[in-house]
């Protein structure tokens, strides 16, 4: 039906008084892509969206939609659809009138409006609710109406501002898949803003991680998860075990400053001396009873289990190592092998870890 | 529960009832008085007659003043509601720093004692030939009614979701279209009740009307006032009763409009 | 593709100035709506007010004079001073009576259930909108010498003094008219007071009366002040109530203003009187605003109720 257009953001800057909301943000979004802007509150993701939508003017930078420069163009002339967190449905109009609103602004003939409204309501699955008022609908239904309304006029770009934030978990997950389906069906470029990293992982083609007004990393979901490029990205997306230190030794050695712990890590040859952080996901950790032999390519620490957290599909074991660290290790099968106070050895393969620039305290909130 | 039976609490309830009655009942005296059979203000009235109502509609002094008041009030409603709504919308949506000052200026006529407003207007209108003139009354009353419209519509706007205007813009509606198609229908109850209060403000206005009045251009309240000081005529009671009736109707209507709005968009 | 480049160089050259002009455009739009209302109020309200001020220093009964002559006449004339003093005293008196009647009523409104409260509110709102002349006229009927009030008391052997044509009648009538103006802002403040504070005080050992005086009243003070202020200021400028319920021999200031301006066309003198009234009003408002702000800040109450 419709196809997307590409979006180019260059050098976007926005200040509010003394606070910098955006500090020179660059981002390219390909036509038809599902891009998520992910970050904690205040990181700049919503400001970026507002600037693209035209609700806010930037202090510097450009936004180009396909061939057209958007800065200076008022919102009502940008052909961009927006879905709001609290739906922003017009309470005095029925569903059909809400969805038909953008078409009436474009002075389409009544018959065509009715046809297009019918089609889009079909796509979002709300055909039999066309005559209701928004207040008569559930949250999930209202959000679908908002989607329909934002898509009915065939925009090439759809902005979604934390649209599922007001819904409960089950509803949210259902709608996530719905939105993905609609995206696939229509081929429109989607820019999705959220602070929920699970949501980002589920829905996106690519994710841009925002921190403090800057983009830390832009990558596909699995790449972001497996190979975060910064400590912030690593801690914001999923849980991590973090070891801070400096590159030392030869080849693949990282030395932990505080305790003189030497860990093997996949560091590029020649990268010496800088402060780094070693990041390993909990599911990459192995736990064996004390005394178990460990491979030569692995790092190992000895410790005691302090807690066993049952998380449904997996168990998380919290281990206090002998040198005072806390390690998270996940096991897929609910484990009855280990109990609190068991002495264990935690190990991981050197190549399963990622080395990021580190040592700075993170501003974001890890999970 | 024992608390509510305490003598102090009981006394408070009784006192409250007395005050409530003091607020409501005395004014209602004019109703039975308007049906008195005798040309006297004695209360309780003796006899029964509807002649004072008949007199009201046949006596040109009374009837013309009523019509005059009505004409003025209707025109004032149009002026004050339009200007007041424009102002309220501008004050809510705008972001200028002098917003608070502008609001203060618009509300001022409600705060300045009426007699002070009256003499200034009287002098200026005298020079402009607007005394004893329909439009003089209309402009003067409008200025007094605008504050109440601003306050009422502003209150309605305070619960208006401004996100809706952003949504409307994103869907292709320009600023004017957004105001008319999205904002106005939603604040309509506030505007309507503001209009009702504007009507009442004009219809009931007395002090400025006193200065602007002439022998052939009197509003109903002024006609009542002049009659009280001049003669004993129960037609005054009939006129007063009708005035009260109109007031009650408007206030109840405004309350209903506002109550319905809350229910609709909850 | 060169087309895109052309677009970029011409439009991309100065994105900032376009942003600024866009912002200017947006800013103008909302505030533009204020022009008409402000002009209207400016011409039909502030211009007359200004004229009145000018007249008070320019228009004199003898033709020419010093700018202060009208003020000298007003403040120097003993009968005028008496009238001013009387107006002040009656206004204070009415304020106190309204407070005595209105505070318990407003307090009761915070105690009762929702339905009753609505009823009590209606009892306050309806008179609020009823016509002033009509209500005053009703009191003329009630308070007349052979009227129902005196007759009712006489039936119990109580001989009431004359109620009409003096300040007693004016006070009674004005109180009924002005009571809503006190109850409404007072209630607004009172309903914002957390009653659990009283429970807390009592749990700490305070007697109910002490808790009320030491905790409730101080928190209620801003509302009390606001209500009293409104009543006082309104009473200062009252015309119809003293005109109908009082007598010419003890008139109040607005009646005098009317005589000067409407009957004698002495605009300068009337203007001077009105200006003195206005300045007095503004001073009282300013002082009480200052006091309220200091008071609420001292108590740590965030903003008025």
| A57 contact residues in C (CB cutoff 8 A) | 19, 22-23
- State what percent of residues in chain A have pLDDT above 70: 90
Interface test with A, best of B165, B167, B175, B192 (most A CBs within 10 A): B167
| C47 contact residues in B (CB cutoff 8 A) | 124
pLDDT at position C2, please?
Answer: 39
Put simply, whether B122 touches C (Cβ < 8 Å) is yes
Q: Give C2→chain A minimum CA distance, Å.
A: 11
Reported residue count of chain B is 266
Give A185-208 as a DSSP string: HH--EEEEEES-HHHHHHH-SEEE
Q: Judged by CB atoms within 8 Å, which residues 26-85 of B form the interface with C?
A: 26-30, 33, 41-44, 79, 83-84
pLDDT higher than 70, residue C6: no
pLDDT at position A80, please?
Answer: 94
Check if the beta carbon of residue C71 is closer than 8 Å to that of residue C272.
yes
For A88, phi then psi, to 5°, come to: 55, 40
Q: Judged by CB atoms within 8 Å, which residues 128-157 of B form the interface with C?
A: 139-140, 142-143, 146, 150
Interface test with A, best of C6, C11, C26, C27 (most A CBs within 10 A): C11
Can you read off the two tokens belonging to residue A170? Answer: 């089950």
Q: Span B240-258, mean pLDDT? A: 88
CA C217 – CA C166 distance, rounded (Å)? 34
Closest residue in A to C1 (Cα) is A67
pLDDT at position C9, please?
Answer: 36
| B168 contact residues in A (CB cutoff 8 A) | 76, 90, 101
Nearest-5° Cα angle at A178, A172 to A184: 140
Q: Which of A88, A91, A102 sits opposite B172 (nearest CB)?
A: A102
pLDDT at position C11, please?
Answer: 39
Q: Give B264→chain A minimum CA distance, Å.
A: 9
Cβ contact (<8 Å) for B210 and C176? no
Cβ contact (<8 Å) for A135 and B265? yes
pLDDT digits (tens, 9 = 90+) for A153-175: 999 899 999 999 888 888 888 89
Reported residue count of chain A is 367
Check if the beta carbon of residue A318 is closer than 8 Å to that of residue A307.
yes
pLDDT at position C23, please?
Answer: 54
List of residues 6+ apart from A355 with CB closer than 8 A? A247, A254, A265, A266, A267, A276, A277, A278, A279
pLDDT higher than 80, residue C206: yes
pLDDT at position C26, please?
Answer: 55
Q: Span B238-250, mean pLDDT? A: 89
CA C181 – CA C125 distance, rounded (Å)? 9
Q: Which of C3, C7, C19 sits opposite A71 (nearest CB)?
A: C19
**Reported confidence tier of residue A250, pLDDT bands at 50, 70, 90:** low
Q: Span B51-66, mean pLDDT? A: 91
Put simply, whether A72 touches C (Cβ < 8 Å) is yes
Q: Give B148→chain A minimum CA distance, Å.
A: 25
Other Cβ atoms within 10 Å of A207 Cβ, number: 28
**Reported confidence tier of residue C304, pLDDT bands at 50, 70, 90:** very low
- State what percent of residues in chain C have pLDDT above 90: 29
Cβ contact (<8 Å) for C15 and A62? yes
Other Cβ atoms within 10 Å of A137 Cβ, number: 18
| A150 contact residues in B (CB cutoff 8 A) | 170-171
Chain C contact partners (≥3 CB pairs within 8 A): A, B
| Among the listed residues B241, B231, B251, the one whose alpha carbon sits nearest the alpha carbon of residue B35 | B241
| Among the listed residues A171, A196, A192, A194, the one whose alpha carbon sits nearest the alpha carbon of residue A183 | A192
CA A75 – CA C152 distance, rounded (Å)? 73
Q: Give C111→chain B minimum CA distance, Å.
A: 10
pTM of the model: 0.81
Q: Which residues of chain B approach chain A closer than 8 Å at the C-beta?
A: 161, 163-164, 166-175, 177-178, 181-182, 185-186, 264-266
Chain B contact partners (≥3 CB pairs within 8 A): A, C
| A72 contact residues in C (CB cutoff 8 A) | 11, 15, 18-19, 21-22
**Reported confidence tier of residue A267, pLDDT bands at 50, 70, 90:** low
Enumerate domains of chain A plus CATH numbers. Answer: 7-226 (3.40.50.300), 239-357 (2.40.50.140)
Check if the beta carbon of residue B152 is closer than 8 Å to that of residue B255.
no
| B167 contact residues in A (CB cutoff 8 A) | 82, 84, 88-90
| C26 contact residues in A (CB cutoff 8 A) | 74
Size of interface B-C (CB pairs under 8 A): 243
Check if the beta carbon of residue A188 is closer than 8 Å to that of residue A4.
yes
pLDDT at position B199, please?
Answer: 95
Can you read off the two tokens belonging to residue B207? Answer: 């002090």
First-residue to last-residue Cα distance in chain A: 39
Interface test with C, best of B8, B92, B120 (most C CBs within 10 A): B120
Can you read off the two tokens belonging to residue A366? Answer: 């890890």
Per-domain residue ranges for chain C? 2-57, 70-299
Cβ contact (<8 Å) for A58 and C19? yes
Cβ contact (<8 Å) for A150 and B170? yes
For all residues of chain C together, what is the average pLDDT? 83
Give A247-299 as a DSSP string: E-SSSSEEE-TTT--EEE----TT--S-EEEEEE-GGG-EEEETT----TTEE
Inter-CA distances, B203 with A127, B196, B207, Å: 51, 10, 12
Closest residue in B to C175 (Cα) is B23
Q: Which of A76, A89, A150 sits opposite B169 (nearest CB)?
A: A76
pLDDT digits (tens, 9 = 90+) for A94-119: 999 999 999 999 999 999 999 999 99
List of residues 6+ apart from C156 with CB closer than 8 A? none
CATH code for the structural domain at C70-299: 1.10.3720.10
pLDDT digits (tens, 9 = 90+) for B164-217: 999 999 999 998 899 999 999 999 999 999 999 999 999 999 999 999 998 889
Using omega within 30 degrees of 0 as the cis cutoff, is the peptide bond preceding B44 cis? yes
Check if the beta carbon of residue A191 is closer than 8 Å to that of residue A158.
yes
Cβ contact (<8 Å) for B167 and A82? yes
| B237 contact residues in C (CB cutoff 8 A) | 137, 141
Q: Which of A67, A72, A74 sits opposite C4 (nearest CB)?
A: A67
Cβ contact (<8 Å) for B105 and C41? yes
Closest residue in C to A74 (Cα) is C22
Interface test with C, best of A71, A74, A75, A78 (most C CBs within 10 A): A71
Q: Span A61-66, mean pLDDT? A: 92
Chain A contact partners (≥3 CB pairs within 8 A): B, C
Rounded-to-10 torsion of CA C41, C43, C49, C53: 150
| C9 contact residues in A (CB cutoff 8 A) | none
CA A331 – CA A309 distance, rounded (Å)? 10
Classify the C-alpha dihedral C202-C115-B156-B88 as positive or negative.
negative
CA C160 – CA C173 distance, rounded (Å)? 16
Put simply, whether A52 touches B (Cβ < 8 Å) is no
Q: Give C184→chain B minimum CA distance, Å.
A: 13
Closest residue in A to C9 (Cα) is A69
Q: What would the 3-class secondary structure string for A292-319 be?
A: CCCCCCEEEEEEEEEEEEECCCCEEEEE
Put simply, whether A82 touches B (Cβ < 8 Å) is yes
| Among the listed residues A68, A172, A132, A49, the one whose alpha carbon sits nearest the alpha carbon of residue B170 | A49
Radius of gyration of chain A (CA): 24
Cβ contact (<8 Å) for A72 and C18? yes
Cβ contact (<8 Å) for A106 and B182? no
Closest residue in A to C2 (Cα) is A67
Burial of A222 (0-12, 13-18, 19+ CB in 10 A): exposed
Supply the DSSP symbol for B214. Answer: B
CA B213 – CA B116 distance, rounded (Å)? 16
- The half-sphere exposure of A118 on its side-chain side, counting CA atoms within 13 A, is 6
Other Cβ atoms within 10 Å of A12 Cβ, number: 26
Cβ contact (<8 Å) for B164 and A82? no
pLDDT higher than 90, residue B106: yes
pLDDT digits (tens, 9 = 90+) for C43-62: 999 999 999 888 888 877 77
pLDDT: is B44 or C16 the higher one? B44
Q: B65-264 has which fold? A: MetI-like fold (1.10.3720)
Cβ contact (<8 Å) for A69 and C21? no
Cβ contact (<8 Å) for A57 and C22? yes
pLDDT higher than 80, residue C135: yes
């Amino acid at each position: 039906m419709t196809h997307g257009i590409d979006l180019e953001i260059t050098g976007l800057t926005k200040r509010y008084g003394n606070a910098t909301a955006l500090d020179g943000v660059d981002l390219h979004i390909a036509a038809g892509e599902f891009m998520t802007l992910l970050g904690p509150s205040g990181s700049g993701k919503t400001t970026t969206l507002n600037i693209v939508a035209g609700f806010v003017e930037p202090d510097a930078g450009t936004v180009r939609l396909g061939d057209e420069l958007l800065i200076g163009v008022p919102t009502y002339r940008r052909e961009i659809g927006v879905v709001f967190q609290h739906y922003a449905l017009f309470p005095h109009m029925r569903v059909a009138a809400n969805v038909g609103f953008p078409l009436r602004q474009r002075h389409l003939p009544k018959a065509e409006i009715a046809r297009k409204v019918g089609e889009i309501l079909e796509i979002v699955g709300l055909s039999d609710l066309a005559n209701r008022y928004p207040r008569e609908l559930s949250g999930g239904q209202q959000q679908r109406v908002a989607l329909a309304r934002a898509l009915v006029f065939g925009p090439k770009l759809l902005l979604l501002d934390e649209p599922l934030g007001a819904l409960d978990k089950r509803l949210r997950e259902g709608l996530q898949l719905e939105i993905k389906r609609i995206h696939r069906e229509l081929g429109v470029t989607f820019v999705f803003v959220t602070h929920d990293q699970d949501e980002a992982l589920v829905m996106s083609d690519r994710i841009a991680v925002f921190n403090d007004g800057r983009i830390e990393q832009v990558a596909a979901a699995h790449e972001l998860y497996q190979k975060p490029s910064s400590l912030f990205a690593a801690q914001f997306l999923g849980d991590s075990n973090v070891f801070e230190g400096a590159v030392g030794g030869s080849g693949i050695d990282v030395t932990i400053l505080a305790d003189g712990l030497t860990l093997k890590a996949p560091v590029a040859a020649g990268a010496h001396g800088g402060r780094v952080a070693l990041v390993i996901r909990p599911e990459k950790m192995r736990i064996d009873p004390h005394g178990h032999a460990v491979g030569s390519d692995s790092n190992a620490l000895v410790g005691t289990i302090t807690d066993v957290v049952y998380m449904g599909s997996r168990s998380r074991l919290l281990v206090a190592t002998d040198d005072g660290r806390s390690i998270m290790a996940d096991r897929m099968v609910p484990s009855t092998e280990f109990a609190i106070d068991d002495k264990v050895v935690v190990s991981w393969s050197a190549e399963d870890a990622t080395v990021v620039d580190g040592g700075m305290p993170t501003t974001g909130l890890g999970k | 529960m024992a608390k509510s039976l305490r003598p102090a609490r009981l006394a408070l309830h009784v006192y409250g009832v007395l005050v409530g009655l003091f607020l409501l009942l005395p004014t209602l005296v004019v109703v039975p008085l308007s049906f008195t059979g005798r040309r006297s203000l004695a209360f309780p009235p003796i006899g029964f007659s509807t002649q004072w109502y008949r007199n009201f509609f046949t006596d040109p002094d009374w009837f013309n003043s009523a019509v005059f008041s009505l004409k003025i009030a209707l025109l004032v409603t149009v002026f004050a509601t339009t200007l007041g709504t424009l102002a309220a919308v501008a004050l809510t949506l705008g972001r200028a720093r002098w917003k608070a000052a502008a609001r203060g200026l618009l509300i001022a006529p409600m705060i300045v004692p009426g007699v002070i407003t009256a003499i200034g207007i009287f002098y200026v209108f005298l020079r402009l030939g607007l005394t004893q003139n329909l439009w003089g009354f209309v402009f003067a009353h409008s200025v007094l009614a605008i504050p109440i419209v601003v306050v009422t519509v502003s209150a309605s706007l305070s619960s208006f979701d401004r996100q809706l205007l952003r949504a409307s813009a994103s869907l292709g509606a320009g600023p004017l279209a957004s105001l008319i198609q999205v904002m106005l229908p939603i604040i309509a109850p506030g505007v309507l009740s503001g209009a009702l209060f504007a009507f009442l403000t004009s219809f009931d206005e007395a002090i400025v009307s006193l200065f602007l009045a002439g022998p052939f251009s009197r509003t109903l309240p002024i006609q009542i006032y002049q009659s009280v000081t001049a003669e004993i005529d129960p037609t005054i009671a009939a006129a007063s009763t009708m005035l009260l009736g109109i007031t009650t109707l408007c206030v109840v209507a405004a309350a209903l409009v506002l109550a319905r709005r809350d229910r609709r968009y909850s | 593709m060169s087309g895109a480049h052309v677009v970029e160089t011409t439009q991309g050259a100065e994105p900032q100035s376009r942003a600024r002009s866009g912002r200017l455009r947006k800013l103008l739009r909302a505030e533009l709506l204020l022009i008409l209302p402000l002009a209207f109020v400016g011409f039909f309200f502030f211009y007359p007010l200004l004229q009145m001020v000018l007249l008070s220093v320019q228009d004199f009964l003898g033709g020419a004079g010093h700018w202060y002559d009208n003020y000298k006449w007003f403040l120097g004339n003993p009968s005028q001073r008496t009238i001013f003093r009387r107006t002040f005293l009656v206004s204070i008196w009415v304020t106190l009576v309204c407070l005595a009647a209105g505070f318990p009523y407003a307090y009761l409104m915070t105690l009762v259930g929702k339905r009753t409260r609505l009823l009590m509110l209606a009892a306050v709102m309806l008179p609020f909108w009823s016509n002033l002349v009509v209500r005053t006229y009703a009191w003329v009927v009630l308070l007349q010498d052979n009227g129902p009030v005196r007759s009712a008391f006489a039936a119990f052997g109580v001989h009431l003094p004359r109620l009409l044509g003096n300040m007693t009648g004016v006070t009674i009538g004005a109180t009924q008219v002005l009571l809503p103006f006190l109850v409404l802002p007072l209630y607004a403040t009172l309903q914002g007071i957390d009653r659990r504070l009283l429970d807390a005080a009592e749990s700490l050992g305070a007697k109910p009366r002490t808790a009320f005086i030491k905790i409730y009243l101080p928190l209620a003070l801003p509302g009390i002040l606001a209500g009293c202020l409104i009543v006082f200021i309104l009473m200062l400028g009252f015309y119809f109530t003293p005109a109908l319920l009082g007598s010419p021999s003890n008139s109040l200031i607005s009646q005098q203003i009317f005589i000067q301006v409407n009957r004698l066309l002495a605009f300068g003198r009337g203007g001077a009187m009105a200006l003195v009234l206005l300045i007095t009003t503004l001073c009282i408002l300013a002082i009480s605003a200052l006091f309220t702000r200091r008071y609420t800040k001292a108590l740590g109450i965030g903003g008025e109720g």
